């Protein structure tokens, strides 16, 4: 990735530099590491203030830069600044993670406390692992890819080479089985 000196120098520019894909011009190179150092703190603060979860915030910051590295060719400096582009990515990742977390809370409310700081006991972790091991292989793969690796259903369908509708039905069936297997007696 190449960055060159910007003539605009506005408050949203990266140390007076903007992305360009032209390697032939006289330019200074800035790596993804330099972008990370520059934007990790403001993105972390934004995400943390929104979700109030330290670990989730750190994960989202890291995932934002991984996604930026993957999709940096799609960045158009005429549409937005680099800072805006990164914050938009972080917001989208955060929104998806929070939706997933909320759906898990509805399915397994006993696993969550109000302050979201619940550390599962070793016994609970082993119970969950045992319940997941009881699922058929196809359903177990979907659960692990969805909730342990935070992959979207589209990617899971590519990995498992099955239609997205099958991913959805396996996810639904496995969550239903897990809810029965992990039901806490009242």
Domain boundaries, position 160:
120-181
75 in the same domain as 22: yes
Q: Of 97, 132, 149, which closes a domain?
A: 97
Half-sphere exposure (Cβ direction) of 15: Cα atoms closer than 13 Å: 10
Q: Is residue 11 part of a domain?
A: yes
Domain membership of residue 114 (yes or no) is: no
Res 22: pLDDT: 39
Of 91, 92, 131, the closest CA to residue 111 belongs to 131
What per-residue confidence (pLDDT) applies to 30?
60
> Any idea what the CATH number is for the domain that residue 165 is in?
1.10.10.10
Per-residue confidence (pLDDT) for residue 118, from 0 to 100: 53
Structure-block tokens of residue 41: 């703190």
CATH of the domain at 69: 1.10.1740.10
Predicted confidence pLDDT, tens digits, the chain (186 residues): 433 333 333 333 333 344 443 333 322 346 788 889 999 998 998 888 888 889 999 999 999 999 999 988 888 888 888 888 898 899 899 989 988 888 877 777 666 654 454 567 788 888 888 888 899 989 988 888 888 777 788 888 888 889 999 999 999 999 889 888 887 444
| One domain, residues 91 and 124 | no
Do 83 and 135 sit in the same domain of this protein? no
- Examine the domain organization and report whether 88 and 6 are in the same domain: yes
Q: What is the pTM (predicted TM-score) of this model?
A: 0.50
**Structural domain tally of the chain?**
2
- By the 8 A CB rule, do 73 and 4 touch? no
Contact 52, 31 (CB under 8 A): no
């Amino acid at each position: 990735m190449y960055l060159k000196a910007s003539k605009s120098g506005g408050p949203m520019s990266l140390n007076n530099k903007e992305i360009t894909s032209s390697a032939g011009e006289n330019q200074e190179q800035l790596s993804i590491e330099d972008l990370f150092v520059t934007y990790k703190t403001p993105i972390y603060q934004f995400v943390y203030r929104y979700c109030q979860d330290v670990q989730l915030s750190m994960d989202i910051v890291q995932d934002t830069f991984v996604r930026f590295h993957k999709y940096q060719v799609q960045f158009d400096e005429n549409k937005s600044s680099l800072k805006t582009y990164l914050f938009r990515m972080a917001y989208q990742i955060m929104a998806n993670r929070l939706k997933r977390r909320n759906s898990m809370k509805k399915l397994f409310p006993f696993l969550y406390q109000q302050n979201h700081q619940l550390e599962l006991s070793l016994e609970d972790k082993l119970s969950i692992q045992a319940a997941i091991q009881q699922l058929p292989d196809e359903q177990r793969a979907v659960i692990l890819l969805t909730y342990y690796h935070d992959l979207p259903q589209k990617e899971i369908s590519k990995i498992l080479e099955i239609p997205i509708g099958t991913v959805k039905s396996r996810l639904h069936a496995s969550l239903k089985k897990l809810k029965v297997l992990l039901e806490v007696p009242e």
